[in-house]
Structure 1
Amino acid sequence: MKYIIACLLLGAFSQGAWALDAADQQRLNDIQQSWAHIQYEVPEGQRTAAFEKLAAQASRFTQERQSVAEAWIWSGIVTSSWAGAQGGLGALGKVKEAKADLEKALAIDPKALQGSAYTSLGALYDRVPGWPIGFGDSDKAGEFLELALRMNPNGIDSLYFWGDHLYRQKRYVEARAALQKALLAAPRPGRETADAGRRKEIEALLVDVNKKLG
C-alpha cells in the first residue's frame, strides 16, 4: 500500500485559492508546505507520525470551515498520504476517509484549486486495489483524470497523474508526451519543495516509460 498512495502526493495543485480569505489562505499554505516537507524531506520512517499530526490539523480546518472546498481537498490529500506512509491493508480505512473528503470538496466546488479534487480522486482510483478489497477502478480513474486535465491542462500534477494513468494502461507513447509536458509546467511560487519532488517523480516514471518503448 505504500506505493499505492505514496504518489498521491497531490501536494501541489494550484498556485492559489482565490476564493479564500487571507486567514484561510494562510492556513491552506501552511498545510501545503508542511505536506511537501513531510513527503519529500522527512525520512520515510518518520512520515507516518508526521502525517498523522498534519491530518489532525487539516481535519480541524474542515470542521471550522465546512464550506471551504480547498480545506476538504487538502484533508483528503493529507489523509491519503498518511495512509501511504502507514501501508498495509489497515490503511484502507484512511483511503476511504480521503475519498469521502474529496467527494465533499467536489460537492461544494468542483473547480476549486483548478479541479484538484478530480486529480486526487483519479489517483486514488488508479492505485487502490479493486473489489473486493478496495474501490480501485481504472475506468473511473481515467474519467476523473481527464476532467482534471480539462480544468488544468498545463499543471504539473494533472499531467503527471494523467501520464501515470496512461503508463498503467500501456499507452506508452501518450504517457511519455504527457510526462514531458509536465516537466515544462510553470513553477508555482511558494511550492518549490513540492515542485522539486514532483519533477523527480516524473523523471523516474519517464525512465520506466522509455524502457517500455525500447
Structure 2
Amino acid sequence: MMKWMAAAFVATGMLASTACADEVDNAVLVLQHEWAQANYKTADDKKEAVFKALVDKAAALDAKYPDRAEPKIWEAIIRAGYAGAMGGVSSMFNAMPQMKQGRDLLLAAEKIDPHALHGSVYTTLGSFYYMVPGGFIGFGDDDKAMEYLNKAIAMAPNDMDANYFMGDYWMEHKKYKKAIPYLEKVIALPAVTDRPVYSAGRKAEAVEKLKKAKK
C-alpha cells in the first residue's frame, strides 16, 4: 500500500511538472508572437507603448515562474525592444536601465539553464554586449560579445538568431566578408516552427544586410 501511494505521489508530481512546463512554454510562445508583431508589424510611433505593455506582461510571467530560464530570456529580449523603441533626446538614459536589467535577467537565466531555447541566453547576451555603448554610458564589450556569440553558434549552429547576430556583429565592425556566410545561412534556414512573422522578419533583415555586405 505504501509503495503504491509513493508511486502515485511521484506520478502526480510528474504530471504537475509537465503541466507547468507546458504552461510556461505556451506563455513564452505567446510572448514570442507578440514580440514579432511589435517588432515587425507595428508602426514606429506606436512601438514604445506596445513594448512597454509587453515588458509588463513578460515581467509578470517571470515573477510567476522565477525558477524557469525561458521567461527571463524573453523578458530581456522584450526589454531590449522597448529600449530600441524609445525616442527623444533622453532615450539613451531611459534605454540603458532596460538593457542593464535585461543583461542581469540573462545572467540569471544562464545559471538556471544555459541550454534553454537553443542557447538564446548566449545569443542575446552577445547581441547586448556589442550593441550597447561601453565606457561611462553602458556595459558594451566586444570581447564579451564575441565570446557569447561563439558559444551560441557552438551550441546551436543552425539557429536563426545565432547566425543572424554573428553576421550583424561582423557588419557592425565592417568585416563584411566574415558576415556574409552567416547572413546567407539565415536566409537559407527553414522558417522556425510556429513563428512565421519572426522568421519572415528576420530573413528580410538578413537580406538587407547581405546586400550591404556584398557591395
**Structure 1 residue runs without a partner (length 5+):** 1-17
The residue aligned with 1:179 is 183
The residue aligned with 1:154 is 158
Q: CA deviation at 1:110?
A: 0.6
Q: CA deviation at 1:170?
A: 3.0
Q: CA deviation at 1:155?
A: 1.3
Match of 2:209 among 178, 201, 205: 205
| 80-89 vs 36-45, which moves further | 80-89
Match of 2:197 among 187, 193, 197: 193
Structure 2 distance, partners of 1:167, 1:55, is 29
The count of residues paired between Structure 1 and Structure 2 equals 194
Structure 2 distance, partners of 1:26, 1:154, is 23
Q: CA deviation at 1:180?
A: 0.6
- 1:1-214 to 2 correspondences below 5 Å: 21-87=21-87, 88-89=91-92, 90-211=94-215
The one-letter code of the counterpart of 2:122 is Y
- Give identity over the alignment, percent: 35
- Give TM-score, length-normalised by structure 2: 0.87
**Structure 2 residue runs without a partner (length 5+):** 1-17
Counterpart of 1:183 in 2: which secondary structure?
helix
The one-letter code of the counterpart of 1:136 is G
Structure 2 distance, partners of 1:160, 1:20, is 31
- Structure with the bigger RCO (C-alpha within 8 Å, sep 6+) is 1
Question: Which structure shows the higher helix fraction?
Answer: 2
The one-letter code of the counterpart of 1:100 is D
Q: CA deviation at 1:117?
A: 0.9
- Give TM-score, length-normalised by structure 1: 0.87
Q: Is the 8 A contact 2:191 2:200 kept in 1?
A: no
Structure 2 distance, partners of 1:149, 1:51, is 28
Which protein shows a greater Rg? 2
RMSD over aligned CA atoms reads 1.5
